Structure 1
């Protein structure tokens, strides 16, 4: 119970409230018994007329409820609330391989990805350090984690496409940036929580195996070891194509590998096949990353309702019974 109330012993006061209710019932019963002692029924009818106020007990009932609510308020009820994070680190890792030039997502995958990523940077809470890494055949750190989200937006506009897809390198680079920032902030124990958000559209091509020492699955395991969740977004469709050297080449999304990366790194997996869907994915991530659940005092509503009912009880007593309860 202590996890729900900061001072649970105050709840014992409810026993006093119950005692008041029992005492009130006893007084009413004793009053009737005294009335029946009169031998003259005519006089009895005058003292205790049969047509009594049906609502005469409402004020005391309302008062007892008010006292119960005020007792709960005294016990300090606790509740979980979603509050913006004061500090956190987020690394955006964006695929810039040639397949991102596919037009299956209008106007192109890369243009839609840039628009959605900038909106994500705009919506992210101010206390979060945001960084940006792009990856194709290699990974490039474009922005180290910083609370200046505008720097990330400027870099997003300058993303350039390149050959190949080294998924693991993108994750490893993000881990390194987070570790570097954590060292500056006093070590992993003192550092704020971190999260990697990776958006890709295709299958890893460098190295051949995802389980290679520099592969995507290995990088995901490393992130899990460092307690850094990696959420992945599979962006595009199964029918996407790009034109390379005059030839149409299929570039379908690779949901399976991206889903396993998220699973290995204890993150979330998302799919998106349009700009609107991608914006919704980023919005969901923003809610997850930009806020945290904190348990705090929740006595205010109990105090308000208890006070209102106490006032209502007095008003009803004066209106119905012409006296306070």
Structure 2
């Protein structure tokens, strides 16, 4: 819970003042009572009973006041709200290092299978776009609600040389900015999910991509995919292709996204599942002051009821 107008809580300082005034009045009442020397009158002015019951109505009244003050400060609860016009951009690395078979049957085939499962399980209200990137980045499926187009684009991925991570982010951002007629002025809430196993080797830098993503308020979640033992055969030469986790983690953390690592198809599928559940909603704070005012009303009724029942008067 949070407070939308926390400055109003200063009114709570009135509570100890009320308590002090109440205690002072009780002492004055007792002092006034002992001034009577006639015991018969004393028993009428300061009877021993109801004793503690005298303070119940006052206590309930103070609780009521405290609840009303908290309600006046506009408490708000966190609620999950579906993201309207939400757009998810899936960027898949198709550089030659994705041929590595350390993740069977190969990194690229495992990536295809996991990406297709992720897209297929996203809520229908999401728009999904797909970008492939190697030496440059290409929008192979513009963001839309057409799942079949997105899935078909995954099947058409073709490997190529070099890795342009920065260009992939810029291509995703451009797709978001041109999503619909109002996107240029009111872009949809968007999130980029980028899977790669390497470093940025061509095109615009990762830092430029970070700056552009932050300016557009579009987080980038990254998945570092593969093991440290991957190798590929290029032109008869075997080359090691370990995963550059640091670059991908820096991209994610600098754009308020999440950085994940996966070394198998099972782990990759689990990562995609976690991303999908976290993107389905946004958190909003909604005013719940009516709850506090309602409870305060119950305490007010309790204070009035006890006072009427025991003393035949309102507090």
Q: With the length of structure 1 as denominator, give the TM-score of the two structures.
A: 0.72
1:207 match: none
Contact 2:84–2:189 (CA under 8 A) maintained in structure 1 = no
Contact 1:76–1:298 (CA under 8 A) maintained in structure 2 = yes
Mapped pair 1:274 → 2:264: yes
- Spell out, residue by residue over 1:125-184, the C-alpha distance to the aligned partner (whole angstroms, 9 max, x if none): 55543201123455442310113445434543x2444233432443343233233336x3
Corresponding residue SS for 1:300: helix
Give the aligned CA root-mean-square deviation in angstroms: 4.1
Residues 85-104 of structure 1 mapped to structure 2, 5 A cutoff: 85-104=83-102
Q: Alignment partner for residue 180 of structure 1, among 178, 181, 185?
A: 178
Take 1:145 and 1:33, find their aligned partners in 2: how far apart are those partners? 81
Contact 2:79–2:284 (CA under 8 A) maintained in structure 1 = yes
TM superposition shift of 1:83: 3.1
Contact 1:165–1:203 (CA under 8 A) maintained in structure 2 = no
Residues 127-166 of structure 1 mapped to structure 2, 5 A cutoff: 127-149=125-147, 151-156=149-154, 158-166=155-163
Q: Alignment partner for residue 196 of structure 1, among 192, 196, 199?
A: 192
CA distance 1:239–1:48, shift in 2 (3 Å): same
TM superposition shift of 1:20: 6.0
1:35 match: 33
Unaligned 5+ runs, structure 1: 205-209
CA distance 1:123–1:58, shift in 2 (3 Å): farther
Residues 230-309 of structure 1 mapped to structure 2, 5 A cutoff: 230-241=220-231, 250-262=240-252, 267-282=257-272, 285-286=275-276, 289-309=279-299
Contact 1:202–1:252 (CA under 8 A) maintained in structure 2 = yes
CA distance 1:224–1:50, shift in 2 (3 Å): closer
Q: With the length of structure 2 as denominator, give the TM-score of the two structures.
A: 0.74
1:310 match: 300
Unaligned 5+ runs, structure 2: none
Contact 1:130–1:146 (CA under 8 A) maintained in structure 2 = yes
TM superposition shift of 1:18: 6.8
Take 1:32 and 1:222, find their aligned partners in 2: how far apart are those partners? 73
